[in-house]
Amino acid sequence: MPKTKEKKQKVKKTPRQRGRIALKVLAWIVGIIAVIALALAILNTVSAKAERAFVKNSVEAVAYENQLVPTLADDGYYTFVTDEDFKVLQLTDVHLGAGVLSTKKDTMAMNAVAAMVTEEKPDLVIVTGDVSYPIPYSAGSFNNKNPALVFADLMEKLGVYWCLGFGNHDTEAYSYFSRSQLAKLYNDKEKYPHCLFQSGPENIDGVGNYVINVKNTAGKLTQSLFILDSNSYADNDYFGIQWKYDCVHENQVKWYEETAKALQEENGGEVKSLAFFHIPPAEMKEAFAEYKENGEQDTADVQYLYGKIAEGNQLICSSKYNYGLFDAFQANGTQGAFFGHDHLNNMSLLYKGTKLTYGYSIDYLAYFGIAKFGLQRGCTVIYVHPDGSFDNHGENYYQDKYVSINEKETVDLEHDMADVNGGAVNPLAAE
């Protein structure tokens, strides 16, 4: 009789065997992730070192004729002394990734910063947040310290006095380092003697609430420059995916009021001041809404000065919370506030006698396609006059006077800025 093939019975695996297989698969997955993470860590370290080497080998110090040198006064605040105009350069949203995916765009950003600082020769640079952009899909990195190191190296090599307030992207929920840890970096006066950042009082919210003063040779305060931490996200939006932004908190406002009053008392009268922070105040949204509703014409309370609101749907990403900062400004001699956050907005408005100004941004990284557009990229120049008054205006980076270390990238300078990011509209714009 012919032999018949016997069917092999499929042996069922025991729960223990299935568990071992699952553990092996999990181990393989974990191993692959670990290898990828290690490779990225190595590549990101190499990228950050390359960016710091670029600064060391390519950037030259600004050629000042008579650079003002601040001193740390008895009240604990850095103080400049001059009887002439005091020049402040506001930079915002530099957005350095210092990762394997962002090296080219980081170099563009450093070129822009170096070119504008070198030409403008300011007495002080104030950065209103988002030096770092440690977003993995853009930078390939979670490390927010490396961008801070790169930027601090850049400013120190330029030899300009500078300070900053933190933005929401400087310390994301998934970033490696906290605001306090970055503050220690900026407070290292041996490495960064030109950095005037101060951590500020520990008993109020935020890190980096402080003042820099300008006095004349008679010892009178010409201007106080308040730097405030507008914090990051609100309402449990820890990762910022709902775009629920925070603001300057109530205890910070109280600190500002107490500090302003103390400076007035010390000065024997009114002290004029300016404020710098990252997230725009609610009053900027109010002022623009009133201006827009009036057919983009001035009203009794709103005067247009310059610039555009060019985010999708003319969006202003302020917080829904308001702890009275603007009212405190008006009651305590603060003449103007400067901020960033919305990279395509660079409008300046006079609202109820107080100037509210978006700084021109640097960003090459955060918005898809923004590196190819140029109308929004630049700096804001502020002149504080000996009588305490001030003027400000925006400057576009793509002017011949700003000479880049590398050849400037080709950008579209005739576009409608709302086309940036593929014309995408912020989902909160309709709210």
pLDDT tens sequence across 210-248: 999 999 999 999 999 999 999 999 999 988 889 999 999
What is the pLDDT, as a whole number, of residue 39? 60
Least confident stretch, 65-69, 154-158, 367-371: 367-371
Task: Decide if pLDDT at 152 tops 60.
Answer: yes
What is the pLDDT, as a whole number, of residue 349? 98
**Torsion sign over Cα 21, 22, 24, 28:** positive
Token pair in block for residue 212: 């820099």
For 391, list phi and psi in degrees, rounded to 5: -130, 150
- What strands, in cross-sheet order, belong to the sheet with 78-81? 71-72, 78-81, 210-215, 221-227, 273-276, 334-339, 354-358, 348-351, 302-306
Task: Decide if pLDDT at 423 tops 80.
Answer: no
Residues in the chain: 431
Place of tokens 């032999």: 3
- 79 has which bridge partners? 71, 213
Place of tokens 């395509």: 344
Q: Calculate helix-pair angle for 145-158, 179-186, nearest 10 degrees.
A: 20
Distance from C-alpha of 3 to C-alpha of 161, rounded to nearest angstrom = 94
The amino acid at 215? K
Q: What is the pLDDT of residues 167-197, one digit of tens each?
A: 999 999 999 999 999 999 999 999 999 999 9
pTM, to two decimals? 0.90
Q: Where are the strands (E) in 301-398, listed by range? A: 302-306, 334-339, 348-351, 354-358, 378-384, 390-396
Q: What is the pLDDT of residues 280-300, one digit of tens each?
A: 999 999 999 999 999 999 999
Distance from C-alpha of 367 to C-alpha of 21, rounded to nearest angstrom = 43
Q: Can you say whether residue 221 is alpha, beta or left, with left for phi > 0 and alpha for psi between -120 and 50 degrees?
A: beta
What is the pLDDT, as a whole number, of residue 426? 42
Q: Can you say whether residue 219 is alpha, beta or left, with left for phi > 0 and alpha for psi between -120 and 50 degrees?
A: left
- The mean per-residue pLDDT over the stretch 101-115 comes to 96
Determine which helix (DSSP H) or strand (DSSP E) holds 263, and give its type and residue range: helix 250-267
How sure is the predictor about 427, in pLDDT bands with cuts at 50, 70 and 90? very low
Nearest Cα neighbor of 60 from 157, 192, 149 is: 157
What is the pLDDT, as a whole number, of residue 2? 55
Neighbours of 73 (CB within 10 A): 12
DSSP 308: -
Distance (Å) of CA 325 to CA 24, 212, 232, 321, 402: 57, 19, 16, 11, 36
